[in-house]
Amino acid sequence: MYGHKVKLRFLFIFVALTILALTTFLILKSLEENVIYFQSPSDIKTLNNVKKEKIRIGGMVKESSIEIRNNEVNFIITDLNNELNVSYSGVIPNLFSEGKGVVAEGYLKDKNFFVATKILAKHDENYMPPEVKEALQEK
């Protein structure tokens, strides 16, 4: 039905796309450590040695773990399996609160203690009006 040239061009595009997809997959797979924006407290627990580099830790702020003393904020980041104590002094984003997502950038003191130099609030995929939220909480 179609000419020989058409079939060849189709094959060409098909092979090109396959090669590109595979190459991209391999590159991203090997770069996974750098592609992720933050590590979880569980990742920190499995580390062999504490590195001096700046890293980001993400998770949930543990309920009733925020303590404010002078200019310092202490809280616990949890991924529901493991926990990490964080201390920070500086500007806190509006959405930072207990039970919500957070990403802290800074340095590890040891496997249980993290000194943050920057705090980012992570928000989840739920969007709803305040009335609906209240109705949900009452349930």
Partner 1 sequence: MLKYFEPNKIFSITSKAPKYVLFLFIILFSIGLTESLFLSPEDYKQSHSVRIMYVHVPAAWISIGIFTTLTVLSIVGFIFKIRNFFLITKSLAPSGFVFCVIALVTGSIWGKPTWGTWWAWDARITSMLILSLFYLMYLLAWRIYEKSDNVLKITTSITILGIINVPIIKYSVDWWNTLHQQASINILSKSTIHESMLFPLIIMTAAFALFSLLIFLMKYNTELIKIKNKGLDRL
What are the residues binding partner 1 (CB under 8 A)? 2, 6, 9-10, 13, 16-17, 20-21, 24, 28, 32, 35-40, 58, 91-96, 100-101, 103, 118-133
Count of C-beta atoms within a 10 Å radius of residue 60: 19
Expressed in angstroms, the distance from the first to the final Cα of the chain is 64
- Residues 106 and 103: their CA atoms lie apart, in Å, by 10
* Among 49, 39, 127, residue whose Cα is nearest residue 79: 39
Contact 102, 123 (CB under 8 A): no
**In a 3-state reduction of DSSP, which class is residue 121?**
strand
> Which residue reads 């040695």 in tokens?
49
Minimum Å gap between C-beta 139 and partner 1 is 15
**In a 3-state reduction of DSSP, which class is residue 76?**
strand
Minimum Å gap between C-beta 71 and partner 1 is 17
Compare residues 28 and 47 and give the one whose CB is closer to partner 1: 28
